[in-house]
Structure 1
Amino acid sequence: MPRPALHIGPKKLVESPAPNLELGLYRTQSSALHDLKFTGDLQPWPGFLSAVQTTHQSHTWRNKVLGLTLQTRDPYTHGNVEVGDETSVQGRFHKYFGDVLNSIFTSQSKEIRFADFKCVQSSFAGTPDVIMKDVNRILKVVGELKVPWVYEHFLFDKLNNNHQLRNILAQPIRYMQSLGSVYGFISDYHKTIFLRQLVNSQGIWRIEYSPVVQSSTTYDRRAKNPPVVSSRQCFFHIGCEALNQGPVNNTTPRWVIRR
Protein backbone atom coordinates (compact mmCIF):
# COMPACT_ATOMS: atom_id res chain seq x y z
CA MET A 1 0.00 0.00 0.00
CA PRO A 2 1.43 3.43 -0.85
CA ARG A 3 2.39 5.70 2.00
CA PRO A 4 -0.04 8.57 2.61
CA ALA A 5 1.02 12.11 1.80
CA LEU A 6 2.67 13.99 4.64
CA HIS A 7 1.20 17.31 5.67
CA ILE A 8 3.45 20.38 5.57
CA GLY A 9 2.83 23.18 8.04
CA PRO A 10 4.03 26.80 7.90
CA LYS A 11 7.06 26.21 10.15
CA LYS A 12 8.40 23.37 8.00
CA LEU A 13 7.58 25.26 4.83
CA VAL A 14 9.44 28.43 5.85
CA GLU A 15 12.47 26.35 6.87
CA SER A 16 12.62 24.62 3.49
CA PRO A 17 14.63 25.56 0.38
CA ALA A 18 13.12 26.71 -2.89
CA PRO A 19 13.36 24.43 -5.95
CA ASN A 20 16.19 25.03 -8.39
CA LEU A 21 15.49 26.87 -11.61
CA GLU A 22 15.25 24.78 -14.75
CA LEU A 23 17.54 26.71 -17.11
CA GLY A 24 16.88 26.65 -20.82
CA LEU A 25 19.72 25.84 -23.22
CA TYR A 26 19.33 29.26 -24.86
CA ARG A 27 19.06 32.27 -22.56
CA THR A 28 19.49 36.02 -22.60
CA GLN A 29 23.12 36.97 -22.01
CA SER A 30 22.90 40.74 -21.58
CA SER A 31 23.41 42.53 -18.27
CA ALA A 32 20.33 44.21 -16.82
CA LEU A 33 22.24 46.41 -14.38
CA HIS A 34 21.29 50.07 -14.56
CA ASP A 35 24.02 52.65 -15.02
CA LEU A 36 23.84 53.69 -11.37
CA LYS A 37 26.13 53.93 -8.35
CA PHE A 38 25.36 54.24 -4.66
CA THR A 39 27.52 56.98 -3.09
CA GLY A 40 26.42 56.86 0.55
CA ASP A 41 27.53 55.04 3.68
CA LEU A 42 27.47 51.28 3.01
CA GLN A 43 27.98 48.77 5.82
CA PRO A 44 27.34 45.07 6.55
CA TRP A 45 24.09 44.43 8.40
CA PRO A 46 25.25 43.34 11.89
CA GLY A 47 23.56 40.27 13.35
CA PHE A 48 21.24 39.75 10.40
CA LEU A 49 21.30 35.94 10.40
CA SER A 50 20.96 35.79 14.18
CA ALA A 51 17.96 38.14 14.03
CA VAL A 52 16.31 35.90 11.43
CA GLN A 53 16.89 32.86 13.62
CA THR A 54 15.53 34.66 16.70
CA THR A 55 12.36 35.65 14.84
CA HIS A 56 11.88 32.04 13.78
CA GLN A 57 12.52 30.50 17.17
CA SER A 58 10.52 33.02 19.18
CA HIS A 59 7.46 32.91 16.91
CA THR A 60 4.53 30.77 18.08
CA TRP A 61 3.81 28.81 14.92
CA ARG A 62 0.21 27.90 14.21
CA ASN A 63 -0.10 24.35 12.98
CA LYS A 64 -2.01 24.64 9.71
CA VAL A 65 -1.70 22.43 6.64
CA LEU A 66 -0.27 24.46 3.75
CA GLY A 67 1.02 21.67 1.54
CA LEU A 68 1.60 17.95 1.06
CA THR A 69 4.69 15.84 0.44
CA LEU A 70 3.95 13.17 -2.17
CA GLN A 71 5.90 10.10 -3.22
CA THR A 72 5.77 11.21 -6.84
CA ARG A 73 7.25 14.37 -8.30
CA ASP A 74 4.71 17.06 -7.42
CA PRO A 75 4.25 19.52 -10.33
CA TYR A 76 3.17 22.24 -7.89
CA THR A 77 6.27 22.12 -5.71
CA HIS A 78 8.99 21.62 -8.33
CA GLY A 79 10.15 23.94 -11.08
CA ASN A 80 9.21 22.51 -14.46
CA VAL A 81 9.17 25.52 -16.78
CA GLU A 82 12.54 26.29 -18.37
CA VAL A 83 13.64 29.88 -17.80
CA GLY A 84 15.58 31.99 -20.27
CA ASP A 85 15.01 35.62 -19.34
CA GLU A 86 14.18 37.94 -16.44
CA THR A 87 10.43 37.68 -16.94
CA SER A 88 10.46 33.92 -16.44
CA VAL A 89 12.75 34.25 -13.40
CA GLN A 90 10.25 36.73 -11.95
CA GLY A 91 7.50 34.18 -12.49
CA ARG A 92 9.43 31.47 -10.64
CA PHE A 93 10.21 33.92 -7.82
CA HIS A 94 6.56 34.86 -7.39
CA LYS A 95 5.57 31.18 -7.34
CA TYR A 96 8.17 29.78 -4.94
CA PHE A 97 8.68 32.82 -2.73
CA GLY A 98 5.69 35.12 -3.17
CA ASP A 99 2.96 32.46 -3.21
CA VAL A 100 4.62 30.38 -0.48
CA LEU A 101 5.33 33.31 1.85
CA ASN A 102 1.87 34.80 1.34
CA SER A 103 0.36 31.47 2.45
CA ILE A 104 2.63 31.48 5.49
CA PHE A 105 1.84 35.10 6.35
CA THR A 106 -1.89 34.36 6.09
CA SER A 107 -1.62 31.27 8.29
CA GLN A 108 0.10 33.37 10.97
CA SER A 109 -2.30 36.36 10.67
CA LYS A 110 0.52 38.60 9.41
CA GLU A 111 -1.11 41.28 7.28
CA ILE A 112 1.65 41.63 4.70
CA ARG A 113 1.78 40.26 1.15
CA PHE A 114 4.08 39.97 -1.84
CA ALA A 115 2.60 41.84 -4.79
CA ASP A 116 3.31 43.64 -8.04
CA PHE A 117 4.29 47.30 -7.72
CA LYS A 118 1.15 48.38 -9.59
CA CYS A 119 -0.91 47.05 -6.67
CA VAL A 120 -0.08 50.20 -4.65
CA GLN A 121 -0.81 53.81 -5.55
CA SER A 122 2.36 55.68 -6.43
CA SER A 123 3.50 58.50 -8.68
CA PHE A 124 7.00 57.03 -8.88
CA ALA A 125 8.12 56.74 -12.49
CA GLY A 126 10.06 53.50 -12.06
CA THR A 127 8.66 49.98 -11.73
CA PRO A 128 10.28 47.74 -9.11
CA ASP A 129 10.03 44.03 -9.91
CA VAL A 130 8.35 43.02 -6.64
CA ILE A 131 7.09 44.59 -3.43
CA MET A 132 5.60 43.63 -0.11
CA LYS A 133 2.58 45.64 1.04
CA ASP A 134 0.33 45.67 4.08
CA VAL A 135 -3.46 45.28 4.27
CA ASN A 136 -3.87 49.04 3.73
CA ARG A 137 -1.95 48.78 0.44
CA ILE A 138 1.04 50.62 1.89
CA LEU A 139 4.38 49.61 0.40
CA LYS A 140 6.65 48.01 3.00
CA VAL A 141 9.49 46.29 1.10
CA VAL A 142 10.80 46.79 -2.41
CA GLY A 143 12.84 44.28 -4.41
CA GLU A 144 14.77 43.94 -7.65
CA LEU A 145 15.23 40.67 -9.56
CA LYS A 146 17.96 39.68 -12.03
CA VAL A 147 18.76 36.49 -13.93
CA PRO A 148 21.36 34.34 -12.14
CA TRP A 149 23.51 33.27 -15.09
CA VAL A 150 24.85 36.66 -16.28
CA TYR A 151 28.27 37.41 -14.74
CA GLU A 152 27.47 41.05 -13.94
CA HIS A 153 24.62 39.84 -11.70
CA PHE A 154 26.74 37.46 -9.55
CA LEU A 155 26.11 38.54 -5.95
CA PHE A 156 28.81 36.54 -4.18
CA ASP A 157 31.55 38.16 -6.27
CA LYS A 158 30.39 41.67 -5.38
CA LEU A 159 30.64 41.37 -1.58
CA ASN A 160 34.44 41.64 -1.70
CA ASN A 161 34.49 44.44 -4.26
CA ASN A 162 33.12 47.71 -2.87
CA HIS A 163 32.94 49.36 -6.28
CA GLN A 164 30.93 46.55 -7.87
CA LEU A 165 28.76 46.18 -4.78
CA ARG A 166 27.77 49.85 -4.94
CA ASN A 167 26.84 49.42 -8.60
CA ILE A 168 24.69 46.31 -8.20
CA LEU A 169 22.87 47.60 -5.09
CA ALA A 170 22.20 51.06 -6.52
CA GLN A 171 18.93 50.21 -8.27
CA PRO A 172 17.08 48.72 -5.25
CA ILE A 173 18.55 51.47 -3.03
CA ARG A 174 17.16 54.11 -5.39
CA TYR A 175 13.74 52.47 -5.09
CA MET A 176 14.05 52.37 -1.29
CA GLN A 177 14.93 56.06 -1.03
CA SER A 178 12.36 57.24 -3.57
CA LEU A 179 9.53 55.16 -2.11
CA GLY A 180 10.40 55.65 1.58
CA SER A 181 10.90 51.94 2.20
CA VAL A 182 13.21 50.97 5.07
CA TYR A 183 13.65 47.45 3.68
CA GLY A 184 14.63 46.15 0.27
CA PHE A 185 16.46 43.33 -1.47
CA ILE A 186 18.12 42.24 -4.69
CA SER A 187 17.79 38.63 -5.81
CA ASP A 188 18.66 36.41 -8.74
CA TYR A 189 16.29 33.76 -7.28
CA HIS A 190 19.21 31.53 -6.28
CA LYS A 191 20.86 34.19 -4.12
CA THR A 192 19.53 37.22 -2.27
CA ILE A 193 20.99 40.23 -0.45
CA PHE A 194 18.65 42.01 1.97
CA LEU A 195 18.92 45.75 2.60
CA ARG A 196 17.78 48.33 5.14
CA GLN A 197 18.27 52.08 5.40
CA LEU A 198 18.93 53.72 8.76
CA VAL A 199 19.70 57.24 9.98
CA ASN A 200 22.11 58.12 12.80
CA SER A 201 21.86 60.88 15.43
CA GLN A 202 23.61 63.32 13.07
CA GLY A 203 20.98 62.79 10.40
CA ILE A 204 23.28 60.76 8.12
CA TRP A 205 21.59 57.88 6.34
CA ARG A 206 23.29 54.58 5.63
CA ILE A 207 22.53 51.30 3.90
CA GLU A 208 23.21 47.98 5.61
CA TYR A 209 23.40 44.78 3.57
CA SER A 210 23.02 41.17 4.63
CA PRO A 211 25.22 38.22 3.72
CA VAL A 212 24.23 36.45 0.52
CA VAL A 213 21.48 33.95 1.37
CA GLN A 214 21.02 30.99 -0.98
CA SER A 215 17.61 29.65 -1.98
CA SER A 216 18.94 26.08 -1.76
CA THR A 217 19.68 26.37 1.98
CA THR A 218 17.57 24.48 4.53
CA TYR A 219 17.34 25.82 8.08
CA ASP A 220 19.78 24.09 10.45
CA ARG A 221 18.65 24.72 14.02
CA ARG A 222 21.93 23.37 15.40
CA ALA A 223 24.13 25.88 13.58
CA LYS A 224 24.93 28.89 15.75
CA ASN A 225 28.07 30.63 14.51
CA PRO A 226 26.96 31.70 12.02
CA PRO A 227 23.31 30.57 11.94
CA VAL A 228 22.20 28.70 8.82
CA VAL A 229 18.79 29.98 7.79
CA SER A 230 16.67 29.57 4.67
CA SER A 231 15.91 32.44 2.33
CA ARG A 232 12.20 31.99 3.10
CA GLN A 233 12.95 32.56 6.78
CA CYS A 234 14.75 35.76 5.82
CA PHE A 235 11.75 37.01 3.86
CA PHE A 236 9.45 36.12 6.76
CA HIS A 237 11.68 38.07 9.15
CA ILE A 238 11.84 41.09 6.84
CA GLY A 239 8.06 41.01 6.40
CA CYS A 240 7.44 40.91 10.16
CA GLU A 241 9.89 43.77 10.77
CA ALA A 242 8.48 45.87 7.93
CA LEU A 243 4.91 45.57 9.25
CA ASN A 244 5.90 47.68 12.26
CA GLN A 245 7.80 50.25 10.22
CA GLY A 246 6.28 53.33 8.64
CA PRO A 247 7.64 55.17 5.59
CA VAL A 248 10.83 57.20 5.96
CA ASN A 249 11.87 60.48 4.38
CA ASN A 250 15.49 60.23 3.26
CA THR A 251 16.25 63.37 1.27
CA THR A 252 20.01 62.81 0.97
CA PRO A 253 21.05 64.46 -2.33
CA ARG A 254 22.85 62.36 -4.95
CA TRP A 255 22.67 59.24 -2.81
CA VAL A 256 22.38 57.29 -6.05
CA ILE A 257 23.95 58.80 -9.16
CA ARG A 258 24.39 57.98 -12.83
CA ARG A 259 27.76 56.49 -13.60
Structure 2
Amino acid sequence: MLSVETRHAIDPATARGFDTEALRRNFHVGGIFADGEIKLIYTHYDRMIVGGAVPAGKDLVLDEVPQCGTDTILARREMVVVNIGGEGIVRAGSDYAMAKGDMLYLGMGSGPVTFSGGGRFYILSAPAHKTLPSRLIRIDEAARIDLGSQATSNERTIHQFVHPEVMESCQLVVGMTKLHNGSVWNTMPAHVHDRRMEAYLYVDLPEDQMAVHLMGEPTETRHMIVRNEEGAISPPWSIHSGAGTASYAFIWAMAGDNVNYKDVEMVGMGDMR
Protein backbone atom coordinates (compact mmCIF):
# COMPACT_ATOMS: atom_id res chain seq x y z
CA MET A 1 0.00 0.00 0.00
CA LEU A 2 1.26 3.47 -0.96
CA SER A 3 0.43 6.70 0.86
CA VAL A 4 1.85 10.13 0.05
CA GLU A 5 1.75 13.29 2.14
CA THR A 6 2.56 16.70 0.65
CA ARG A 7 4.52 19.31 2.61
CA HIS A 8 4.47 22.87 1.28
CA ALA A 9 7.40 25.24 1.69
CA ILE A 10 7.44 27.54 4.72
CA ASP A 11 9.28 30.87 4.80
CA PRO A 12 11.37 31.86 7.84
CA ALA A 13 9.11 34.72 8.90
CA THR A 14 6.13 32.38 9.12
CA ALA A 15 8.12 29.71 10.95
CA ARG A 16 9.04 32.19 13.71
CA GLY A 17 5.44 32.12 14.92
CA PHE A 18 5.00 28.34 15.00
CA ASP A 19 4.23 26.50 18.21
CA THR A 20 5.36 22.90 18.79
CA GLU A 21 2.41 21.39 16.94
CA ALA A 22 2.92 23.58 13.87
CA LEU A 23 6.67 22.90 13.82
CA ARG A 24 6.08 19.16 13.88
CA ARG A 25 3.30 19.28 11.31
CA ASN A 26 5.54 21.08 8.82
CA PHE A 27 9.06 19.80 9.55
CA HIS A 28 8.95 16.58 11.59
CA VAL A 29 9.36 13.22 9.82
CA GLY A 30 7.79 10.30 11.67
CA GLY A 31 5.70 7.20 11.13
CA ILE A 32 7.17 6.46 7.71
CA PHE A 33 8.16 2.87 8.55
CA ALA A 34 5.06 0.66 8.69
CA ASP A 35 4.94 -3.08 8.00
CA GLY A 36 3.64 -3.87 4.53
CA GLU A 37 3.50 -0.22 3.45
CA ILE A 38 5.34 2.43 1.45
CA LYS A 39 4.87 5.87 3.01
CA LEU A 40 6.25 8.98 1.31
CA ILE A 41 6.46 12.69 2.04
CA TYR A 42 6.58 14.86 -1.07
CA THR A 43 8.16 18.19 -0.12
CA HIS A 44 8.21 21.48 -1.95
CA TYR A 45 11.83 22.00 -0.87
CA ASP A 46 13.70 21.20 -4.09
CA ARG A 47 10.95 18.59 -4.72
CA MET A 48 12.69 16.16 -2.36
CA ILE A 49 10.78 12.99 -1.47
CA VAL A 50 11.53 11.19 1.80
CA GLY A 51 9.85 7.99 2.89
CA GLY A 52 10.02 4.42 4.04
CA ALA A 53 9.22 0.93 2.77
CA VAL A 54 8.92 -2.11 5.05
CA PRO A 55 8.19 -5.31 3.06
CA ALA A 56 7.59 -7.43 6.19
CA GLY A 57 7.57 -10.68 4.24
CA LYS A 58 5.97 -9.56 0.97
CA ASP A 59 7.03 -7.60 -2.11
CA LEU A 60 6.27 -3.90 -2.18
CA VAL A 61 6.35 -2.11 -5.54
CA LEU A 62 6.93 1.62 -5.85
CA ASP A 63 5.84 2.75 -9.28
CA GLU A 64 3.49 5.64 -10.04
CA VAL A 65 3.40 8.50 -7.54
CA PRO A 66 0.70 10.96 -8.66
CA GLN A 67 2.49 13.95 -7.14
CA CYS A 68 5.41 13.39 -9.55
CA GLY A 69 3.19 13.67 -12.64
CA THR A 70 4.88 10.75 -14.45
CA ASP A 71 3.98 7.13 -15.13
CA THR A 72 6.68 5.89 -12.80
CA ILE A 73 8.55 7.66 -9.99
CA LEU A 74 11.98 7.39 -11.64
CA ALA A 75 10.90 8.64 -15.07
CA ARG A 76 12.44 12.05 -14.28
CA ARG A 77 14.04 11.39 -10.89
CA GLU A 78 16.97 9.74 -9.18
CA MET A 79 16.69 7.83 -5.89
CA VAL A 80 18.79 6.68 -2.97
CA VAL A 81 17.62 3.74 -0.85
CA VAL A 82 19.20 3.17 2.58
CA ASN A 83 18.67 -0.10 4.42
CA ILE A 84 18.33 0.54 8.16
CA GLY A 85 17.04 -2.97 8.96
CA GLY A 86 17.85 -6.60 8.23
CA GLU A 87 18.91 -8.27 5.00
CA GLY A 88 16.75 -7.16 2.09
CA ILE A 89 16.58 -6.96 -1.68
CA VAL A 90 15.79 -3.99 -3.91
CA ARG A 91 14.92 -4.71 -7.52
CA ALA A 92 15.15 -1.99 -10.18
CA GLY A 93 16.35 -3.51 -13.44
CA SER A 94 18.75 -5.65 -11.40
CA ASP A 95 18.55 -7.23 -7.96
CA TYR A 96 20.56 -5.56 -5.19
CA ALA A 97 21.08 -7.46 -1.94
CA MET A 98 21.38 -4.91 0.84
CA ALA A 99 22.67 -5.29 4.39
CA LYS A 100 22.06 -2.77 7.15
CA GLY A 101 23.86 0.49 6.39
CA ASP A 102 24.14 -0.07 2.63
CA MET A 103 23.01 2.68 0.26
CA LEU A 104 21.74 2.11 -3.27
CA TYR A 105 21.71 4.82 -5.92
CA LEU A 106 19.13 4.36 -8.70
CA GLY A 107 19.48 6.50 -11.80
CA MET A 108 16.73 8.20 -13.75
CA GLY A 109 14.76 5.73 -15.85
CA SER A 110 15.41 2.71 -13.65
CA GLY A 111 11.70 1.86 -13.69
CA PRO A 112 9.54 0.56 -10.85
CA VAL A 113 11.32 -0.28 -7.60
CA THR A 114 10.49 -3.48 -5.68
CA PHE A 115 11.38 -3.95 -2.01
CA SER A 116 11.52 -7.40 -0.40
CA GLY A 117 13.08 -9.35 2.45
CA GLY A 118 13.74 -8.21 5.99
CA GLY A 119 14.96 -4.70 5.21
CA ARG A 120 13.63 -1.41 6.47
CA PHE A 121 14.24 0.90 3.55
CA TYR A 122 14.63 4.67 3.81
CA ILE A 123 13.78 6.32 0.49
CA LEU A 124 15.14 9.62 -0.85
CA SER A 125 14.39 11.02 -4.30
CA ALA A 126 14.92 14.27 -6.21
CA PRO A 127 14.47 15.41 -9.82
CA ALA A 128 17.26 14.43 -12.21
CA HIS A 129 18.46 15.91 -15.51
CA LYS A 130 20.26 12.87 -16.94
CA THR A 131 20.58 9.14 -16.49
CA LEU A 132 23.50 7.91 -14.41
CA PRO A 133 24.47 4.32 -13.59
CA SER A 134 22.83 2.70 -10.60
CA ARG A 135 25.26 1.65 -7.89
CA LEU A 136 25.23 -0.16 -4.55
CA ILE A 137 27.62 1.47 -2.07
CA ARG A 138 28.71 -0.25 1.14
CA ILE A 139 30.19 1.58 4.08
CA ASP A 140 33.79 0.57 3.29
CA GLU A 141 33.38 2.22 -0.14
CA ALA A 142 32.20 5.53 1.33
CA ALA A 143 34.49 8.49 1.83
CA ARG A 144 35.29 9.03 5.51
CA ILE A 145 35.80 12.24 7.48
CA ASP A 146 36.50 12.36 11.23
CA LEU A 147 35.45 15.57 12.98
CA GLY A 148 34.99 17.03 16.43
CA SER A 149 36.45 16.01 19.77
CA GLN A 150 35.50 14.51 23.10
CA ALA A 151 36.17 17.85 24.74
CA THR A 152 33.26 19.42 22.82
CA SER A 153 31.04 16.29 22.92
CA ASN A 154 30.90 16.13 19.12
CA GLU A 155 33.45 13.52 18.07
CA ARG A 156 31.94 11.87 15.02
CA THR A 157 32.65 10.07 11.76
CA ILE A 158 30.98 11.19 8.53
CA HIS A 159 30.52 8.53 5.85
CA GLN A 160 29.84 10.07 2.43
CA PHE A 161 28.10 7.55 0.15
CA VAL A 162 26.43 9.43 -2.72
CA HIS A 163 28.99 12.20 -2.96
CA PRO A 164 31.27 13.64 -5.69
CA GLU A 165 34.31 11.94 -4.12
CA VAL A 166 32.61 8.54 -4.46
CA MET A 167 30.26 8.73 -7.45
CA GLU A 168 28.35 11.09 -9.70
CA SER A 169 24.74 12.03 -9.10
CA CYS A 170 22.49 14.75 -10.48
CA GLN A 171 21.69 16.55 -7.24
CA LEU A 172 21.30 14.06 -4.39
CA VAL A 173 24.14 14.00 -1.84
CA VAL A 174 23.63 11.41 0.91
CA GLY A 175 25.66 10.07 3.80
CA MET A 176 25.60 8.82 7.36
CA THR A 177 27.17 10.32 10.47
CA LYS A 178 27.96 8.18 13.52
CA LEU A 179 28.62 9.74 16.91
CA HIS A 180 31.50 8.29 18.94
CA ASN A 181 30.97 7.00 22.46
CA GLY A 182 30.36 9.85 24.87
CA SER A 183 29.59 12.41 22.15
CA VAL A 184 26.07 13.73 21.65
CA TRP A 185 26.20 16.78 19.37
CA ASN A 186 25.92 16.57 15.59
CA THR A 187 26.60 19.39 13.12
CA MET A 188 27.77 21.77 15.82
CA PRO A 189 29.07 24.42 15.16
CA ALA A 190 26.03 24.82 12.94
CA HIS A 191 25.70 26.06 9.39
CA VAL A 192 23.14 26.87 6.71
CA HIS A 193 23.27 26.41 2.95
CA ASP A 194 20.84 28.62 1.07
CA ARG A 195 21.27 26.69 -2.19
CA ARG A 196 20.23 23.28 -0.81
CA MET A 197 17.64 21.77 1.49
CA GLU A 198 18.49 18.88 3.80
CA ALA A 199 16.67 15.96 5.41
CA TYR A 200 17.72 14.09 8.56
CA LEU A 201 16.77 10.65 9.83
CA TYR A 202 17.95 9.59 13.30
CA VAL A 203 18.70 5.86 13.61
CA ASP A 204 20.17 3.37 16.11
CA LEU A 205 18.72 5.42 18.96
CA PRO A 206 17.43 3.23 21.83
CA GLU A 207 13.65 3.17 21.99
CA ASP A 208 13.55 4.80 25.44
CA GLN A 209 15.87 7.66 24.40
CA MET A 210 15.50 10.74 22.21
CA ALA A 211 17.29 13.46 20.32
CA VAL A 212 16.66 17.19 20.45
CA HIS A 213 16.81 18.45 16.85
CA LEU A 214 17.58 22.15 16.43
CA MET A 215 16.25 24.08 13.44
CA GLY A 216 15.31 27.60 12.44
CA GLU A 217 17.27 30.72 11.60
CA PRO A 218 20.52 30.98 13.57
CA THR A 219 19.11 33.86 15.64
CA GLU A 220 15.61 32.31 15.91
CA THR A 221 16.29 28.68 16.77
CA ARG A 222 13.53 26.19 17.54
CA HIS A 223 13.63 22.56 18.62
CA MET A 224 11.78 19.30 18.00
CA ILE A 225 11.97 16.08 19.98
CA VAL A 226 12.70 13.14 17.68
CA ARG A 227 13.02 9.43 18.42
CA ASN A 228 14.45 6.41 16.64
CA GLU A 229 13.62 6.30 12.90
CA GLU A 230 12.28 9.86 13.01
CA GLY A 231 13.81 12.97 11.55
CA ALA A 232 13.37 16.44 10.16
CA ILE A 233 12.96 18.31 6.90
CA SER A 234 15.31 21.29 6.91
CA PRO A 235 14.64 24.30 4.63
CA PRO A 236 17.63 26.05 3.05
CA TRP A 237 17.36 28.95 5.53
CA SER A 238 17.47 26.69 8.59
CA ILE A 239 20.25 25.25 10.69
CA HIS A 240 20.13 21.47 11.22
CA SER A 241 21.78 20.16 14.34
CA GLY A 242 20.97 18.04 17.34
CA ALA A 243 21.97 16.30 20.53
CA GLY A 244 20.94 12.86 21.75
CA THR A 245 20.41 11.34 25.17
CA ALA A 246 22.21 8.16 24.02
CA SER A 247 24.44 6.98 21.19
CA TYR A 248 22.94 7.36 17.72
CA ALA A 249 23.64 7.84 14.04
CA PHE A 250 21.80 9.89 11.46
CA ILE A 251 21.34 9.82 7.71
CA TRP A 252 21.60 13.18 5.98
CA ALA A 253 20.49 13.97 2.45
CA MET A 254 20.69 17.15 0.41
CA ALA A 255 19.15 18.31 -2.85
CA GLY A 256 19.35 21.65 -4.60
CA ASP A 257 21.48 23.87 -6.75
CA ASN A 258 24.83 22.06 -6.49
CA VAL A 259 26.55 19.03 -4.97
CA ASN A 260 29.43 20.88 -3.29
CA TYR A 261 29.39 19.52 0.27
CA LYS A 262 31.48 22.44 1.53
CA ASP A 263 29.20 25.12 0.06
CA VAL A 264 27.92 26.28 3.46
CA GLU A 265 27.71 29.43 5.56
CA MET A 266 29.09 28.68 9.00
CA VAL A 267 27.33 30.05 12.09
CA GLY A 268 29.56 31.23 14.92
CA MET A 269 28.83 29.76 18.33
CA GLY A 270 28.39 33.27 19.70
CA ASP A 271 25.80 34.10 17.02
CA MET A 272 23.33 31.37 17.95
CA ARG A 273 20.16 32.37 19.78
TM-score range (shorter-chain normalised) is 0.3 to 0.5
Point out the structure with the larger strand share: 2
**TM-score normalized with structure 2 length:** 0.32
**TM-score normalized with structure 1 length:** 0.33
* Higher RCO (C-alpha 8 Å, min separation 6): 1
Q: Which is higher, the Rg of structure 1 or of structure 2?
A: 1
